[in-house]
Chain A
């Protein structure tokens, strides 16, 4: 049976992010997949079970590291954890909406790179002020997102493929812009963003929290949020019901580009230096966080608040391993394992793996 049958809502929509390739050969033993088999009553009675599991995992991790290292549970370190996840968190909040809408954006890491570089070039080569540079960078992020959207909506290419392409494209341009060099940025405005604190927390953490709040509010309370869920759940039915499916996709991918450019600027501010390779691989960390939060790759399902917990789990694991002096190679391994765990949870939850 065609594996895409496991996600009935998107079966006929190849433009959809979850579109799976047709199987090479029909297999006899995988007749209609039973969603029902796993829809256990427990899950219906206790809608909070998944939240509890997530928060439980976070608490257990924190407890473990607290026992293992005296430095973990200190104010300074906990703020460190938050600071370290601010960048991926900012992107993850919007990426949750992207996945809910049934799309995927793998180009966010490259957009971080290209926008950071643009801001730096505008200041160092053209002598523009930091605010103008930031505005240009944010605009570039939106343009990148719109380019992705154009390919998805007009050229009808699967978003995964589109953003694999633009991942390389944007990164390449970032290198061309600087000729491969790094550009130092010495500017009080950027220093303030990177290192100041408001009410205890670093500015980037506030930015992340603001973006999360916005995404959460949109998903839950806005009409547009309903449209996003519906488009992800069944684009065909949504279009026939009169919803602006294409417009929703354009807005969501543009927003994703914007969030990535915000993240790129945060990174520039924290590092004080624009590197064309900045943000490489971040798309996978972001995806890990979103999937850990239980958002489905198939679209139509997901909670922004859970993604925040997913982000924190990643931050705590990375931080804890650094405190325990785990070599960075092993940290990379842990990242991979985490991604697999996240996807396995997604599959198990929907009760239909690739058997």
Chain B
């Protein structure tokens, strides 16, 4: 048999006290899609970083096409035709879509960049993904889902021999994800070896040929997809049988008290006359494809985005003018892009959980570190944050655990009146996701209000009482109770 495209033997990696990867064997073959699964912190991203030359393994060998290799940096891996779409996006925010997609391989003519050809190639790659993006847009100004598409397009544009995708669909809608999966099947048919990481099992079962499950850094299952099933995979991930989780038994009707009321909301480029009302105790979803404008709603309500509206109120008063005011008036906010908008990456897990809540825990401006630690530890436990200790920098946590830190922060002080959640469980594994949904349902049952913008149809359907479906900055329709299913949502958004 031909040599595998990439072969890992006994890869091992420790970070201080954390044994992130333990003796992993993994074989990627040309023409096949290989799914890598596991809970948050199982070691998936670490393994990908090792294979793309970003981290040195402590032990073990990497073989590319049968030759043992030692990567001294990402450039070495790229020279072997290995490309990576990282979980935490690695884009140059000040550059355009084209410059990002073709980074390092801009077409040249007479020694200068041939921008016309570059734009054409970018459009080509993007259209294969079904993405309608302006190739001249500055990447930093795009919403998360579109940035994600840019990152994916960059991986594809390089015509890789081996392609790693670390949770590429975490911020994409099912429609966009389907296009990507289709494209990946096409690439595999052309002989590319693909490694695919996702917490969406359906996707994985649909697209993958082989599957490897990691648990606590070690391989818990390695099989062909045809030999196994959803149940077997989940059991390998958890190490036990999964418990079924029913989030909201029945859609709960909102109370009398109006929390948010918005009439004819416009915001530059994204919203074009949106009206809605949200009552206390409700969990209301906003769902749409990338670019439909649903991402902008939370920003307007939180005072961090510019808008115009005929009437827009929170608890009967005008919407807050700034995040500071929003916090004071009891609005919590979970941004879609945790790395850019949510976390002080160099600071500790403790500081990130408490961020902006040091004041209420202090006495006369003087910190009480005992109380801080107690609070942070309690919240970390409640949200199942897996971290070596509260003092490690939050950047050393796995993606899903970083997300849990941002969520936990919302419950530091007294419980907020309303929560604005964008992609609240992006990158969170299925077990922790059910737990977070349970916490949010509990919060709403106690009278709290949740606005959820998510591209995850399953999540929105499971979590929300009713959902507004958006397209091109307008509300198309509203789904509730019986009609609220993932497939109806996806159909309505098209």
Q: Which residues of A contact B (CB under 8 A)?
A: 1-2, 4-5, 8-9, 11-12, 22-23, 25-32, 34-37, 39, 41, 44-45, 221-224, 226-227, 229-230, 233-234, 236-244, 300-301
Contact = CB atoms under 8 A, between A and B. Distances in A.
> Nearest 7 pairs between A and B by C-beta?
A28-B104, A242-B327, A233-B344, A2-B92, A32-B90, A241-B356, A44-B16
Given A9-B344, A12-B340, A221 B106 contact: no
Contacts of B333: 240
Contact of B367 (A12, A44, A226, A238): A226
A34 B55 CA distance: 7
B346 A226 contact: no
Given A233-B347, A243-B355, A12 B140 contact: yes
A41 B366 contact: no
Given A34-B74, A230-B351, A27 B104 contact: yes
Nearest to B326: A242
A234 B345 contact: yes
Given A26-B99, A227-B358, A240-B333, A31 B365 contact: no
Contact of A237 (B105, B302, B340): B340
5 contacts: A12-B93, A26-B106, A223-B362, A242-B323, A243-B324
A222 B347 CA distance: 16
A218 B189 CA distance: 61
A229 B347 contact: yes
Contacts of B78: 28, 31
Given A2-B94, A240-B335, A242-B323, 11 more contacts: A11-B340, A22-B95, A28-B103, A37-B55, A41-B14, A222-B366, A223-B367, A230-B347, A234-B343, A238-B344, A240-B302
Contact of B92 (A1, A39, A227, A301): A1
Contact of A44 (B15, B94, B113): B15
B54 A34 contact: yes
Contact of A36 (B14, B16, B54, B302): B54
Contact of B16 (A27, A32, A41): A41
B356 A242 contact: yes
Interface string B94-119: 11000100011110000001000000
Interface string B437-464: 0000000000000000000000000000
A239 B345 CA distance: 15
B371 interface: no
Contacts of A226: 351, 354, 358, 367
A221 B366 contact: yes
Contact of A241 (B15, B355, B362, B392): B355
Contact of A2 (B49, B54, B95, B358): B95
Contacts of A233: 344-347
B256 interface: no
B75 interface: yes
A37 B50 CA distance: 10
B358 A37 contact: no
B304 interface: yes
A129 B339 CA distance: 55
B367 A221 contact: yes
A300 B193 CA distance: 40
* B interface, size bucket: 35 or more
Contact of B344 (A30, A221, A222, A230): A230
B359 interface: yes
B342 interface: yes
Contacts of A41: 14-16
B97 to A, nearest CB: 13
B396 interface: yes
Nearest to B113: A25
B78 to A, nearest CB: 7
B339 A8 contact: yes
A260 B143 CA distance: 43
A215 to B, nearest CB: 15
Interface string B70-96: 000111001000000010001011110
A222 B366 CA distance: 5
A244 B355 contact: no
B74 A223 contact: no
Nearest to B302: A240
Contacts of A221: 366-367
Given A9-B344, A221-B367, A242-B324, A44 B392 contact: yes
A189 B492 CA distance: 81
Nearest to B86: A32
B433 interface: no
A28 B54 CA distance: 15
A222 B362 CA distance: 8
Interface string B357-393: 0110010011100000000000000000000000010
A102 to B, nearest CB: 11
A31 B74 contact: yes
B409 interface: yes
A1 B347 contact: no
A229 B93 CA distance: 23
A34 B15 CA distance: 14
Contacts of B340: 11-12, 236-237
A30 B104 CA distance: 9
B288 to A, nearest CB: 22
Contacts of B396: 39
A236 B326 CA distance: 16
B54 A237 contact: no
Nearest to B72: A37
A32 B106 CA distance: 18
Contacts of A229: 344, 347, 351
Nearest to B338: A237
Contacts of A25: 113
A41 to B, nearest CB: 5
A125 B55 CA distance: 67
Given A32-B74, A44-B392, A240-B341, A300 B54 contact: no
B395 interface: yes
B395 A240 contact: no
B343 A37 contact: no
Nearest to A218: B365
Contacts of B356: 230, 238, 241-243
Contacts of B326: 242
B56 interface: yes
B324 A29 contact: no
A223 B358 contact: yes
Nearest to B345: A9
A192 B67 CA distance: 77
